[in-house]
Amino acid sequence: MDALVDSPLGWLSVGITLLFGAIVLYVADRSLMGKVNVLLWSLLLTLLGLLCVATLGAGGGLGVFCVGSLVSSVFLGGRALLPVGDKAVLITGSDTGIGHALAKHLDNLGFVVFAGVLNKDGPGPEELRRTCSQRLSVLQLDITNATQVKEAYLKVSEKVQNTGLWGVVNNAGILGFPADGELLPMGMYRQCMEVNFFGAVEVSKTFLPLLRKCRGRLVNVCSMAGGIPLQRLAAYGASKAALSMFSGVMRQELSKWGIKVAAIHPSGFRTGILGTPELWDKQEKELMENLPADTRQDYGEDYLLGLKSNFPIMSALCDANLSPVLAAILHALLAKRPHGLYTPGKRSYLLLCIFCYFPLWFYDFFISKMPSSDSVPRALRTSEAENKNL
């Protein structure tokens, strides 16, 4: 311990330790338990700092301790959550799936929830009215309808008045029909962009004045398909990629207003976005009616009719437990230092790492081995058969 007593750097390390502990304690969770946890962590860091100085010398000990303090500061800041209080949050697409579960979850935590729904008389909204508290309000909100977006804004403004709106969660979205990009009708591309991108932008722009009042949060539910290419999701993936880029730009631009923006990129979760067998039949009919004759001939009837089998495969690969997504959105809404990007769910990191850090040919090969990629168009089967006979 002589280095600690004799060296100015030793005393400097002790001073930095105490200062760091005081700062962390000041910005910690306001609850008593939160402050106790941070105080214990700070005392542990103090002992670590003294140990580093005693064993590594004043200079080395101070360096090691400063690095440890920086890492722990980021860690503690990321975990600290703000109190719910009377915070109000708007959620789009609350009829089913993630939006429906999130509305229930936030209501149970004490939020004032505005649940935007496509059909206010549907079973999902009715369940929200029956099971949730009086704080929750169901709003008719087709995000592709500018009039309904404006009406929702007026209703929310009237209720929150001068307190503003703490959060907007752009969750509403559609998947469309999973098929090769060449096969999808242009109407499917436009519909995905209209709902998944333009609708979210419309809602964001409309409600930003209310977010600005309380320096709130904008949370956009994107998709893993918007960050990495996945076969047969060209329309959906392109629209979610646009939303992801919009989120990144808004994160930078809105920071000067104190508004924090987060993009959620879930992997596969079992929600209402897959639709119903009746919707699949309708989308399949639309696809078949819009195909040029030569394209239909090249792909073959069996290939085209087999596209609908992607739905059960996708459903089987999806996780029914939505809690990772709900936890990510809650962190984005309440964390003192929310992340700009969240990737909840199984396999999300695996695919993202392969796409980012491996050669593209390896990623393409990996994707080609997935269950939904094993069917082959008629023209390619015929060509392969002819080559074998030569």
Which tens digits make up the pLDDT trace of 111-144? 999 999 999 999 999 999 999 999 999 999 999 9
pLDDT mean over 51-78? 56
Q: Where are the domains of the chain?
A: 2-79, 88-373
Alpha-carbon span 155 to 91, nearest angstrom? 14
The answer to whether 189 is a known catalytic residue is no
What are the tens digits of pLDDT across the range 296-338? 999 998 888 888 877 777 776 677 789 999 999 999 999 999 9
Topology of domain 88-373 in CATH is: Rossmann fold (3.40.50)
- Would the pLDDT of 172 be above 50? yes
pLDDT mean over 192-218? 97
Whole-model pTM?
A: 0.79
Q: Alpha-carbon dihedral of residues 347, 352, 357, 362, nearest 10 degrees?
A: 70
Residues 245, 193, 117, CA angle at the centre, nearest 5°?
A: 100
Least confident of 30-39, 201-210, 239-248: 30-39
pLDDT mean over 1-14? 54
CB 217 within 8 A of CB 338: yes
Mean pLDDT of the chain: 84
Q: How does 43-69 read in b/e, with b if 16+ C-beta sit within 10 Å?
A: eebbebbbebbeeebbeebbebbbeeb
What are the tens digits of pLDDT across the range 339-385? 999 999 877 777 888 888 999 999 999 888 876 656 789 888 876 65
Tokens standing for 218? 């904008």
- Would the pLDDT of 25 be above 60? no
Alpha-carbon span 274 to 116, nearest angstrom? 19
Predicted confidence band of residue 6 (pLDDT cuts 50, 70, 90): low
The structure tokens 């074998």 sit at: 388
Catalytic residue among 236, 299, 303, 342: 236
Alpha-carbon span 127 to 142, nearest angstrom? 19
Whole-number percent of the chain with pLDDT over 70 = 76
More confident residue, 90 or 231: 90
Name 217's bridge partners.
167, 260
Tokens standing for 38? 């941070």
